[in-house]
Amino acid sequence: MQFIDASHAIDALALDNTADVTQHADAVRATRRIALRFPKWTDGRAYSQARLLRSRLRYDGELVATGEVLVDMLPLLQRSGFDAVQLRSDQDRAAAERALGFFDGHYQADLVSKLPLYGRPAS
């Protein structure tokens, strides 16, 4: 996961978390970076948007989480298809990097592991 400094502007197609991403399919196909906003850390609609972009629209460009992005959100952001985050200014990057390793090997399938645990080859 890439970390983008909160003081830098992001050159991307910015979609509000209330937007129906399927209605923006033409704009999505025309861009290589999309910023999805979390106006509150408790509002998870951007997770659903990311999932729709990756699965239904087959978007393979960069997805960036912006807004009220907290360290605790990073594992789910990664599983939902986000490539980069712009952490809230009071969040610690070292803690964020540690958080990405907390839940390695989920049993469910997601955008990182396409098969559930029981369907993966034994290591």
What pLDDT is recorded for position 6? 77
What pLDDT is recorded for position 24? 95
What pLDDT is recorded for position 111? 67
What pLDDT is recorded for position 85? 96
The DSSP secondary-structure symbol of 55 reads H
What pLDDT is recorded for position 33? 96
Q: What is the pTM of this model?
A: 0.81
What pLDDT is recorded for position 90? 94
Q: Top-level CATH class of 2-119?
A: alpha beta
pLDDT tens digits for range 74-114 = 988 988 999 999 999 999 999 998 888 776 665 566 666 66
Domain ranges of the chain: 2-119
pLDDT tens digits for range 6-34 = 777 788 999 999 999 999 999 999 999 99
Beginning with the edge strand found earlier in the chain, give each strand of the sheet holding 13-15 in spatial order.
2-3, 84-85, 62-67, 33-38, 13-15
Conformational region of residue 105, where left means phi above 0, alpha means psi within -120 to 50, and beta covers everything else: left
Give the three-class secondary structure for 44.
Answer: coil
